[in-house]
Amino acid sequence: MEGASEINLNEEIVMEILLRLPVKSLIKFNCVCRGWRDLINSRHFINMHLCLAQSTEYIIVKRLRDEDNKNVLSFHSPADESLLAAAPELELPELDEANWPLQLIGPCNGIVCLRDFHEGIHLCNPMTRKFRTLPQSSFGSPGGFLRQTHVVGLGFDSTIDDYKVVRIFESSLYDFRAEIYNLSTDSWRQVDAILPPVILRDCFDLLFNGFFHWSAGPESSPHVLSFEMGAEVFKEIKYPNGWLGEQAEPGSVEHSLVVLDDSMALILFSRGRLLDSELYDKSEQYIEIWAMMEYGVEESWVKKFFLGPFSGIQCVLSFWSNDKLLADCCKQLVSFGIQNDSKLKKYDIKGFYLQLVILKESLVSLY
């Protein structure tokens, strides 16, 4: 009996030690022995490791490299003010035959979704560097109409311990529908809902509070479309009264949805001076930031900041440490403070179609 107690104690000590190690080390320790491999790959261990406050966060930047036109993910520590590379870049497989830019969606528990523009949807755990391509949907569309995916969302349903991917598509002209993919069954199913037109924006899609969010509605009166991962219900959230684009020309204001101080925040910034019907010179740009103080309550929108002028900003990507914004400025990552600091700080992170997520590393399996 004493020997059994000693073995159990040793197993508990080993588990406590392993839970505090980074993903990179745990991947190596898979090879130590079968017992460690089974422990590290168990769902119980993966969930406990994910929940630990010591889990490392990374800023993951997706871009199309100038020199070879390849989609890559780069890894940077939020604690490093210079945002130097914290790990080797991950070259993404040629998921799109034309090697077009991939859309980065997420994160959710350390995994992200990558969408190509030939209806391909892929899951990726950047820390384990594993990929999974989702099957094509078996559902059809009315005769003669090519079904087109407009937006994709990713989330976790804690009630069934399963990951879900949501795609909203146009099944026929102006008829927007949705399908849900379950990781546990590796299959798609249809949702009985008729949805408003959705708008693909580079920096808008957001998972927050168990809901995934997209931009929807016409440019003249946009709103937020949310989807609750557990109940599988869509809801619409109105923009705040007096938002920056209310009196502006449609299309002259860019939109981003981010998290600020544990609240959902809407970032609006003007494209600059209009040169012709479609071209803006990106000078004298102003940024307006609204926070929803009580999630889902439209009356709780509060204007937090009005910043500018700036120039050259293509897209506001994310908050960083709640006091700085990260943005794409002329194909280069920049940051600037939100407390009366309009000076741009540039980083040696360049490329086309910049997107980023702030991700907590995890061992979550895609299979």
Please give the mean pLDDT across all residues of the chain.
87
Residue 322 φ/ψ region, left for φ over 0, alpha for ψ in the -120 to 50 degree band, beta for the rest:
left
Instruction: Give the pair of three-digit tokens for residue 364.
Output: 């979550």
pLDDT in tens, the chain (367 residues): 444 444 454 778 888 889 989 898 999 988 888 888 899 999 889 988 988 755 688 999 999 988 888 899 999 999 899 999 999 999 987 765 556 889 999 999 999 999 987 788 999 999 999 999 999 887 766 655 567 788 999 999 999 999 999 999 887 777 889 999 999 999 999 998 889 889 888 889 999 999 999 999 887 789 999 999 999 999 999 999 988 877 777 678 889 999 999 999 999 988 765 444 454 555 678 899 999 999 999 999 999 999 888 888 888 999 998 889 999 998 999 999 887 666 889 999 999 999 999 999 999 999 8
Contact between residue 227 and residue 233 where contact means Cβ atoms under 8 Å apart: yes
Distance CA 169, CA 181 (A): 14
Structure tokens belonging to residue 353: 């179609």
CATH classification for the domain delimited by 56-360, as one of 2.70.98.10, 3.30.1160.10, 2.120.10.30, 3.90.226.10: 2.120.10.30
- Distance separating alpha carbons of residues 216 and 201, to the nearest angstrom: 10
DSSP string, 80-148: -TT--EEEEEEEPP--STT-PPPEEEEEETTEEEEE-SSS-EEEEETTTTEEEEPPPP----STT---E
The amino acid at residue 135 is P
- Sequence-separated (6 or more) residues with CB below 8 Å from residue 118: 96, 97, 98
Cα 357 vs. chain centroid, distance in angstroms? 5
Closest CA to 178 of 156, 201, 199, 198: 198
Question: Count of residues for the chain?
Answer: 367
Domain spans in the chain, listed from the N-terminal domain onward: 7-55, 56-360
pLDDT of residue 229: 97
- Which pLDDT tens digit goes with each residue over 2-59? 444 444 547 788 888 899 898 989 999 888 888 888 999 998 899 889 887 556 889 9
How far is C-alpha 39 from the geometric centre of its chain's CA atoms? 29
**Helix locations, the chain, DSSP H:** 2-19, 23-29, 34-40, 43-51
pLDDT at position 4: 45
Count of CA atoms in the C-beta half-sphere (13 A) of 91: 7
Let me know: does 365 contact 46? Beta carbons within 8 Å.
Answer: yes
Sign of CA dihedral 347, 350, 356, 361: negative
Instruction: Please give the sequence-ordered ranges of beta strands (E in DSSP) within 253-338, or none if there are none.
Output: 253-260, 263-270, 285-292, 301-310, 313-320, 324-329, 332-337
Q: Find out whether 179 and 232 touch, Cβ atoms under 8 Å.
A: no
C-alpha to C-alpha distance for 297 and 29, rounded to whole angstroms: 47
The pLDDT of residue 11 is: 78
pLDDT at 275: 41
3-state secondary structure of 51: helix
220 bridge partner residues = none
